[in-house]
Chains A and B, each alone.
Chain A
Amino acid sequence: MIEVKNLVKTYGDKRAVAGISFRANDGEILGFLGPNGAGKSTTMNILTGYLSSTSGEAYINGHDILEDPIAAKKEIGYLPEFPPLYLDMTVKEYLRFVYELRGCRLPRNTHLKEICELVKIDNVYNRRINNLSKGYKQRVGLAQALVGNPNVLILDEPTVGLDPKQIIEIRTLIKKLGKNHTVILSSHILSEVQAVCDRIVVINQGKIVADDTADNLSRELTADHKLIARIDGPKDEVIKLVETIPGVVSVVADMQREKGVWEYNIEAVEGTDIRRELNRRLMSRNWYILGLRSSELSLEDIFLKLTMGESVTEFLAGKADDLAEHYEEADKK
């Protein structure tokens, strides 16, 4: 279990981490989501005892990382942003070194063999790390974090530099490990965190802007009001027509997909479902919808939403008022 209370880290007068508190329970995979420079790596470096916090507390399975660092560090396997590899060693030598460094008591050869099979580096076991590809280096870094079977795994962007097949393998592995470890992993890719994590902490400019289960967060963040529609009809008139649908905020023709068929990005006021109305109006003009899907919020949207929340909300609230007025008028008629 990891418990963090009011963590602050300042570099000079810059606040890299500005009062973060969260908790990761046993058998939970916690995702740290945030753009580059949000404070993800700094927080992880504090949790693992590489950096000291300016103020605040961090407990790893009840051990304070500052007061009782050695006991706390024993519980942690850490894969930093750049895997800490000695390039002049072979994988075997390196893992044996880590094994000794961490003072492991497990039977050495079988333990290391298990780890290598788990992260699929057994075929490069005797090769020099310097000669390995980036994907293999990343996996050796992950193997290093697993040595000694620590209860807590802290993985800083574990899938960076891997090809799609390896990414899926590593994600599956992390999910498997998550069953009996506490895992914190960071990423700036939403889909990755969604795919792997039970809970997501969104962090921006050193602050937590959201902390929820992956399902809740994605429900909150999926956008039924944002549609991508492929419509067969004259472009300018379609735009004019769609704009008149109550609740629609903007319509942008994206590109021509087929002859006479354009793809439009339609955004409506949050919480409104304009799909039926859209259908009805287009049908009345004998234009056809050839494809309709809701656009997922991109990470940028989420940050916009979570961090610049106020200005966006104001804008949308204005649009919602318009909508209410529209319905009132319709009722009167």
Chain B
Amino acid sequence: MSAILKRETRAYFDSLIGYIFLTAFFAGSGVLFGVTSLQYGSTDMGGMYSGLFFILLVLIPILTMRTLSEEKRQKTDQLLLTAPISLSALVIGKFLAAMIIYSMGVAMTLVYAVVVSFYGAVSWLTVLGNVVGLLLLGAAYIAVGMLISSLTENQVIAAIGGFACMVALYLISSIAAIIPVRWIARIFSELSFSDRYSPFTYGVFDFSNVLFFISATVIFLFLTVRVLERRRWS
């Protein structure tokens, strides 16, 4: 697993995707920070964190599009799948590599908090809660993106498919609102990523939401493993 993790992390910077992701992430979060905090002279950074939700919709697919599709296209999956490692180790290695790059972006938001702290008192616990929330949301999204990437050989399809899925997971609560059947609507709204994420940005740290994102991550990673497993049987 560590071999995969190391290679993948390096590959992000060898292929420019790491740079593109981080640049876009820094730019996006920077603009949001400027517009929501600096402009109003507010120490509340919740606006930036909730805005980042939309930035992730676009950026996470870029981060994950190559992960498994490119291996299949270049036939390097033959090396990985015939190596003496388990499929879970392979998937987790790739997941953690994406998480490392993503965490570098998230870490930047702490720098903004430090900037704010020069001008007023920052609620560090709230910021910490937000960072944890953002990391959890990103983890779940990365797992979704990897699942989509495992289904195709084409990076572009992986990126667009990932984006579509993430938008669907975002819109799921709006869809729930127009579903007349009460219990289906209930299920849909419970599954909404944005409804689960926004409490973090209000400064509410609810463990059920933490658990939700962890479960979502595990489920999508598990599905990714199943897809790879199934391909051997097809």
Contact = CB atoms under 8 A, between A and B. Distances in A.
A144 interface: yes
B83 A73 contact: yes
Interface residues of B, number: 25
Interface string B1-23: 01110110011001100000000
Instruction: Name which of B76, B79, B81, B233 has the most chain A CB atoms within 10 A of its CB.
Output: B79
B74 interface: yes
A76 B83 CA distance: 9
B86 interface: yes
Contacts of B232: 50-52
A107 B159 CA distance: 41
B7 A97 contact: yes
Contact of A49 (B3, B6, B74, B82): B82
Interface string A94-127: 0001101111000000000000000000000000
B75 A80 contact: yes
B80 interface: yes
Nearest to A76: B82
B81 A144 contact: no
Contacts of B83: 73, 98, 101-102
A100 B233 contact: no
Nearest to A49: B82
B84 interface: yes
A218 B11 CA distance: 49
Contacts of B234: 11
B78 interface: yes
Contacts of A74: 84
B79 A144 contact: yes
A103 B78 contact: no
B3 A50 contact: no
B21 to A, nearest CB: 17
Contacts of B153: none
B11 A101 contact: no
Interface in A11-27: 11
Given A51-B232, A52-B232, A52-B233, A101 B85 contact: yes
A323 to B, nearest CB: 53
A82 B75 contact: yes
A151 interface: no
A71 B83 CA distance: 10
Contacts of B4: 101
A101 B81 CA distance: 11
Interface in A77-95: 78, 80, 82, 84-89, 93
Given A52-B233, A100-B3, A84 B77 contact: yes
Interface in B196-234: 232-234
Contacts of A98: 79, 83
Nearest to B86: A70
Given A70-B86, A102-B83, A87 B74 contact: yes
Nearest to A87: B74
Contacts of A11: 234
A48 interface: yes
A156 B110 CA distance: 52
A88 B14 contact: yes
A80 B75 CA distance: 9
Given A71-B84, A84-B79, A84-B80, 10 more contacts: A49-B81, A50-B81, A70-B85, A74-B84, A76-B82, A85-B74, A85-B76, A93-B10, A97-B6, A97-B7
Interface of A: 11, 45, 48-52, 69-71, 73-74, 76, 78, 80, 82, 84-89, 93, 97-98, 100-103, 144
Interface of B: 2-4, 6-7, 10-11, 14-15, 74-86, 232-234
Closest 7 CB pairs of A and B: A100-B3, A84-B79, A73-B84, A48-B82, A101-B3, A74-B84, A84-B76
26 contacts: A49-B81, A50-B232, A52-B232, A69-B84, A71-B84, A73-B83, A80-B79, A82-B75, A82-B78, A84-B75, A84-B77, A85-B76, A86-B11, A86-B74, A88-B11, A89-B7, A93-B10, A97-B6, A97-B7, A98-B83, A101-B3, A101-B4, A101-B79, A101-B83, A102-B83, A103-B84
